[in-house]
Structure 1
Amino acid sequence: MKTLMIVDTLVVSGLIFAVQLNIGTLLQGVDVLIAFSAAMLWLLMLSMKGARQPQVLGVGSDEYKRVLEASILSAGLVAIATVISHGVIPYELVIFGILPGTVALLFTRWILRRILHIRARQGATLSRVVVIGGAPDVRYLVDQIKKKSASIFHVVAIVEDTGQGLVIGDIPVLHGIENLDHLIRVNGADAVMVAGSLHSGSDAVKNLSWELEKSDTELILASSLTNVAGPRIKMRPVEGLPLMHVEPPVFSGARMWAKRALDIGLSSCALVLLAPVFATIALTVRVDSKGPIVFRQRRVGKTGRDFVMFKFRTMSEDAEDRLEALQHENEGAGPLFKLKNDPRVTRVGRVLRKLSLDELPQIFNVLRGDMSLVGPRPPLRTEVECYENHTFRRLLIRPGLTGLWQVNGRSDLSWEDSVRLDLYYVENWSVVGDCIIMWHTLKAMIQPRGAY
């Protein structure tokens, strides 16, 4: 935390004072006061938005969202002050200070996160935890920590409180909550994480929190709302009773209009900027093999409406006719057909798929309103016919050119993981989250995984 505070202070103060020095003299007291006040305001907003809270560091997009929100709020307040002061507070502080400074802050957070992940592989993490709960809940929680939060939490021991057998790697497992104090001392744990409900009754968590006070150990409760992101959960204490409010997901209104405006703006710019790339790919596809340049396929969009999706053709012209003969070699998950070394893929097609360039024509789908830049993966009608009841929630919003499925492994994902990621996005999407996913998509194109 101290390192993060120092880095934030250096970035914020350095940029603000550099701008003020460029437009003023810094010899006058008012220049120093303005620069100092703007820097302190920005740092205060970062603290108020919780951009340095341990709970958001090292994993997920919440840390970046809070930095963005704090910086946008700071820029707005300084801009208002500029208008009120009739230019005494210079507008350059916003344009040349806070706006580029936001990019600098995000970049430094990204660098620090990389360092944290490297240290995690060497055994250093922010918190050593003991997990307590029933076998199924503990197994799921430990598995998710290993996948997504290994740089934050290191599970040093497990207390299985229902008496069931449980083996998870080489993590020591004891039975009975009476062993908890011993595990904390021996393993140097600084937190206890409760997975699900405890077998010992409704008062178990309360009694556990009192016991942990003696050793100054943090208590973390893992919510059973596994598909609900933090911003949708609000705590409201009523007469000593902590109530958890879960806000409904957003499928209409101003936020959805903002998402559509972002789609139109970015897709229009992309079509203009990428015109030479489109022309080059079209030429190589035409020269490489016979057949149309653009492959058209019917997909299922929002509310189950069919639309025609565009892609650069990456397979031979008779690919559909050869599909049945290859069904026995299917390596895809669930109802999906995937084959790593599909003989129908052309030479150019293999490169386009590796770099995800075959999907560029879908930008036209985004502009037309069939798709969004970010969303669930657009399914085939045959996939939708295999959906279970809850899976239909993928169709509540427009499918995406990219999404959580693309930045988390694509074809390497199991069917269950693919559905889980899509449903999580549908329930918890945000415009800021979309921008972060698009940034991760660019990285995934440079270092592709699961694309074939």
Structure 2
Amino acid sequence: MTILSDNRRLSSVSAPSRMLRYLPTSALIIDATIIVLIGALAVTGRRELPLFGEPASVEMSLVIAGPLILFGWLLAVALNGGYRKDVFGAGLDEFKRVLNGSLIAAGLTGVVSYLAKFDLSRGFFVLAFALGVPLLLMGRWSLRRALHAARVRGALRQRVLLVGTRAHVDETFSVLRREKWLGYQVVGALTPEWDLSEETPMGLPIVGNANEAAAMAMDAQADALFFAGGSVGSSSQLRRTVWELEKHHIDVVVAPSVSDISNERVRIRPVGGLPLMHIDPPTWSDASRWGKRTFDIVGSAALILAFLPLIAFASLQIWLFDRGPVLFRQTRIGKDGEEFKCFKFRTMVVNAEALVADLQKQMGQSALLFKMKDDPRITKPGSWMRRFSVDELPQLFNVILGDMSLVGPRPQVRKEVDLYDSAMSRRLHVRPGMTGLWQVSGRNDLTAEEAMRLDLYYVDNWSMIQDIAILCRTLGAVLASRGAY
């Protein structure tokens, strides 16, 4: 492979985004703006609101102390690492640093005021930090949402070279290409010198060999180098490459051959200078405990009461349309392979099951996760009920009965379960859910393989916080009708 051809391959990819260097500055400006506004609100609130005794004017006492408190707040967040460039974009580290910095600022403000015998208004103090902390976190969340949206559109990305064998490179490439919000633009691969291929099986161009990683990273104007399996012959070789890249401020990322593992299950423990990755066992057994079951019962009972008028209206619409059955009861497979009757509002013609085989042949689809747009079996009231997932409200009674959970993999019929391989059978370790990770990640717009991967991730990495997050995201997915048909 000639250098000329390598340069042509690399020049076909957009230039690296240098706007990323301004992310910390943008976060600082947002934080400063929020804190100044919160200071003004706290002063106004203490003057106008009788929450802390008689309303009082505190402007004079805060002429000097106010700016010092606000500046100290920003400084505490900064010293806690809240503006480091590696905290933006993914993970909870950014929010933890902002929260911890804010709590330190609040604590120091109280201690210094006491030691200096400064008469700081308690109303101002409580209002400033009680309002400021959540608003700072919301500001960071908004910045992250904007960053993710820009990256999905192709902006604010880091140029990345992947180093390793073709199989390991493709494994990493598939994740980075799928999760566009991470902001990694893969420009090529570097493989061992014995590999003379021009591209990987997934079509990623091979632009050089792993022994030239540092030089190729500079030629490609790469922002980061990902070292996957088979990338280097020894740890000393990797160390020398890191030293070389350090001079040019190119990030180094080691991508182990581990995927779909939540950060809560991963622990890095250095032993004798060797960083060892410890992976905790899957958490699916925790999803069967009393805490989740209690949450399901209380949550489903509350939702039934809240949606009772809608349930009654949908039932009437179905009956008036064709005088057919209101509910559709279908045998589904639940936890540990046990069968149960899954309740849904009937959204299709009465003989819909008899027509499915012909439709599968027409669409050329497998029985596994079979779905189609503009399904001719759907009735008029069924169309709007499917669009907003109203047809699934009767499954709240399945949750009460213990057949289902509010959150989990979708229940499937026997012929779909019979197509499972050994990995997919792990879905049966937990109760099926009314909503799940794949529903809030694209619903029917996802391929069957993507939906399976998300279900398996949920089973292996279950947590109550994740369940609550999925329920919150479900509301947005339903209202926007994303992937619903």
Give per-residue Cα distances to partners, 1:159-192, cap 9 Å, x unaligned: 1225152537996532312433333223322211
Aligned to 2:171: 140
Given candidates 191, 194, 201, the residue that maps to 2:227 is 194
Q: Does 1:10 align with 2:33?
A: yes
Partner of 1:414: 447
How many residues of Structure 1 are paired with residues of Structure 2 in the alignment? 442
Match of 2:199 among 143, 157, 167: 167
CA distance in 1, matches of 2:339, 2:265: 31
Cα contact 2:284–2:462 (8 A) shared by 1: no
Q: 1:357 to 1:67 in 2, by over 3 A?
A: farther
Whole-Å separation in 2 of the counterparts to 1:423 and 1:224: 17
**Pair 286,160 (structure 1): closer, same or farther in 2 beyond 3 Å:** same
CA distance in 2, matches of 1:52, 1:428: 29
Q: Would you say the 8 A contact 2:286–2:462 is kept in 1?
A: no
Q: How does 1:157-236 map to 2 (within 5 A)?
A: 157-161=188-192, 163-167=195-199, 173-198=206-231, 200-201=233-234, 203-236=236-269
For the structure 1 residues 296 and 44, does the alpha-carbon distance in structure 2 shift closer, same or farther, using more than 3 Å as the test?
farther
Matched, 1:318 2:351: yes
Aligned residue for 2:160, secondary structure, equals: strand
Change over 3 Å in CA distance of 1:298–1:98 after alignment to 2 = farther
Distance 1:316 1:417, change over 3 A: same
Determine the C-alpha separation between the residues in 2 that align with 1:27 and 1:431. Answer: 45
The alignment status of 1:350 with 2:378, answered yes or no, reads: no
| Distance change >3 Å, CA 154–CA 92, structure 1 → 2 | same
Native 8 Å contact 2:288 2:430 kept in 1? no
Distance 1:112 1:338, change over 3 A: same
Q: What is the Cα deviation at residue 381 of structure 1?
A: 2.5
**Structure 2 match to 1:111:** 142
Q: CA deviation at 1:107?
A: 4.5
Letter aligned with residue 143 of structure 1: S
Whole-angstrom distance in 2 between the partners of 1:46 and 1:295: 57
User: For residues 74 and 389 of structure 1, what CA distance do their matches in structure 2 show?
Assistant: 48
Distance 1:11 1:249 in 2: 40
- Cα distance per residue 1:60-80 (max 9 Å; x no partner): xx34x863897599789989x
Deviates more, 1:399-408 or 1:143-152: 143-152
Structure 2 CA distance, aligned partners of 1:43 and 1:260? Answer: 44
User: What SS does the corresponding residue of 1:389 show, helix, strand or coil?
Assistant: coil
1:258: Cα distance to partner?
4.3
Per the alignment, residue 8 of structure 2 pairs with none
Partner of 1:149: 180
In the alignment, structure 2 segments of 5+ residues that lack a partner are 1-23, 47-55, 115-119
- Going from structure 1 to structure 2, the CA distance change for 1:434 and 1:315 (only over 3 Å counts) comes to same
Please identify, of 412-421 and 238-247, the stretch whose mean Cα deviation from structure 2 is larger: 412-421
Q: TM-score, normalised by structure 2?
A: 0.77
Give the partner amino acid of 1:5. Answer: L
Aligned to 1:67: 95
Change (3 A) 1:92 1:155: same
- 1:194 maps to a residue whose letter is F
**CA RMSD of superposed structures (Å):** 3.9
- Residue deviations 1:63-109, cap 9 Å, x none? 4x863897599789989x99xx9xx9969977x76676666455534
Q: Deviation string for 1:29-66 (max 9, x for gaps)?
A: 59997997799679958986x7766556335xx34x86
Distance of 2:302 and 2:121 partners within structure 1? 34
Counterpart in 2 of 1:308?
Answer: 341
Distance 1:296 1:76 in 2: 56
Mapped to 2, the partners of 1:101 and 1:366 lie a distance apart of: 39
Give the conservation status (yes or no) of the 8 Å contact 2:210–2:232.
no
**Identity of matched residues, %:** 34
Structure 1 residue 150: deviation in Å? 4.9
CA distance in 2, matches of 1:240, 1:334: 51
Matches within 5 A, 1:250-329: 250-251=283-284, 257-329=290-362
Distance apart, 1:389 and its partner CA:
1.8
Q: Is the Cα contact below 8 Å between 1:198 and 1:204 reproduced in 2?
A: no
The Cα shift of 1:370 comes to: 2.6
8 Å CA contact 1:20, 1:31 repeated in 2:
no
Sort the Cα spacing of 1:202 and 1:151 in 2 relative to 1 into closer, same or farther, 3 A: closer
Q: 1:184 to 1:66 in 2, by over 3 A?
A: closer
1:156 corresponds to which letter in structure 2? Answer: V
Provide structure 1 residue ranges, at least 5 long, that are not aligned to the other structure. none
Mapped partners of 1:223, 1:238: distance in 2: 17
Report the counterpart of residue 120 of structure 1 in structure 2.
Answer: 151
Give deviations 1:367-386, integer Å, cap 9, x for gaps: 43332222212222222222
Task: Give the CA deviation at 1:115.
Answer: 3.1
Q: Deviations over 1:200-243 (max 9, x none)?
A: 34544333323322323211011211021122111111222211
Counterparts of 1:330 and 1:243 in 2: how far apart (Å)?
A: 48
Deviates more, 1:124-133 or 1:257-266: 257-266
**TM norm structure 1:** 0.82
Classify the secondary structure of the residue corresponding to 1:174.
strand
Deviations 1:273-326 (A, max 9, x none): 222222222221122223221212222222333332221111111222333443
Compared with structure 1, are the counterparts of its residues 90 and 157 closer, same or farther at alpha carbon in structure 2 (3 Å cutoff)?
Answer: same
Task: Decide whether aligned partners of structure 1 residues 368 and 40 sit closer, same or farther in structure 2, where only a CA change above 3 A counts.
Answer: farther
Segment drifting more, 287-296 vs 177-186:
177-186
Cα distance in 2 for residues equivalent to 1:76 and 1:288: 62
Mapped to 2, the partners of 1:370 and 1:39 lie a distance apart of 55
- Contact 1:58–1:151 (Cα < 8 Å) also in 2: yes
Letter in 1 for 2:95: V
Counterpart position of 1:386: 419
TM-aligned CA distance change 1:304 to 1:229, over 3 Å = same
Give, in whole Å, the separation in 1 of the partners of 2:429 and 2:66.
Answer: 48
